[in-house]
Amino acid sequence: MTTLHLSVGEPFTSPAWGSNVVVFSSLTGEAIAEEGVKEYLSKACRYAKHYKVYVVPERFFLMGYHSMCLISPEGKVLGAQKASYLNLAWRQGKRSAQLVPIRTEFGSIFLCVDVDIYHPEVSRLVEAMGTQIVICSQYIQVGDYNTGMVINGVWSAAQSCSMFVVGVSNQYNCVCAPRRMTENDDGFIVAPRVKMPVTAQIQAENLARMPLRGSLSRRFYTTHREDLRA
């Protein structure tokens, strides 16, 4: 399995040297409006092909869904994910019932859209589906941010599901892992910060996986998902 060399940076800026996966993180945090999505994704595909990297662009709206996607170094969209839950700033959107991890040479990647990271059933279900790496992109309104959002979101998902979790937003960027895999035993490969680029190496095959309790099985979350979404 290939080592993931991560670079988190402002959209369309040159990636950090040696990167093979680039995640865009905008200081505004706003998702791309539907009318601009086609042009934006075309530009992102050209960027991926030019730098020969995988790219996770900013979030965007498409057909009423708040969405994310993964683009290959060949400039092709490999997969996309729609939000299951809605940020209060975008209550008018649609909610998706599908969770689709994407198989890559780095391991199985799940694109976590915005506030889905605060719903533990999402992380636990995709972990049961074999996900090893989660990339979460969020919008946090100015004045709402606090460190508890990191702990209750990306950090908690990494600890409870034994996954690597990359969190990007307009307020912070960080990389989380199970505590025993981090240098300071704090659950952070890169602690939350605004300054970019953020770089990290992720080797999914070395991930020490912790089995979930039987009551937290994939069947449990699949059967009761609508109740948990309420």
pTM (two decimals): 0.91
DSSP, collapsed to helix, strand or coil, labels residue 158 as helix
pLDDT at 216: 47
At residue 218, does pLDDT exceed 80? Answer: no
Residue type, 1: M
Q: For residue 166, what are the β-bridge partners?
A: 135, 175
Q: In what order do the strands lie in the sheet with 107-113?
A: 102-104, 107-113, 133-137, 164-168, 173-176, 188-193
C-alpha to C-alpha distances, 194 to 7, 11, 134, 210, nearest whole angstrom: 14, 14, 19, 31
pLDDT at 142: 83
* Domains, the chain: 4-229 (3.60.110.10)
Q: Is the pLDDT of residue 204 over 50?
A: yes
- Residue 191: pLDDT band (50, 70, 90) is very high
pLDDT in the model for residue 217: 53
For residue 212, name the pLDDT band (cuts at 50, 70, 90). Answer: very low
Backbone angles phi and psi of 78, in degrees to 5: -85, -30
How is 57-71 classified by DSSP, letter by letter? ---EEETTEEEEEEE
CA–CA distance, 92 with 110 (Å, rounded to integer): 24
In tens, the pLDDT along 144-182 reads 999 999 999 999 999 999 999 999 999 999 999 999 999
Position 188 scores a pLDDT of 98
* The pair of three-digit structure tokens given for residue 141, joined into one six-digit string: 């309104």
Question: Does position 47 have pLDDT exceeding 90, yes or no?
Answer: yes
Tell me: pLDDT of 214 over 50.
no
Task: Give the model's confidence band at 226: pLDDT under 50 very low, under 70 low, under 90 confident, else very high.
Answer: low
Q: What is the mean pLDDT of the chain?
A: 91
Task: Provide the 3-class DSSP secondary structure of residue 90.
Answer: helix
pLDDT of residue 207: 81
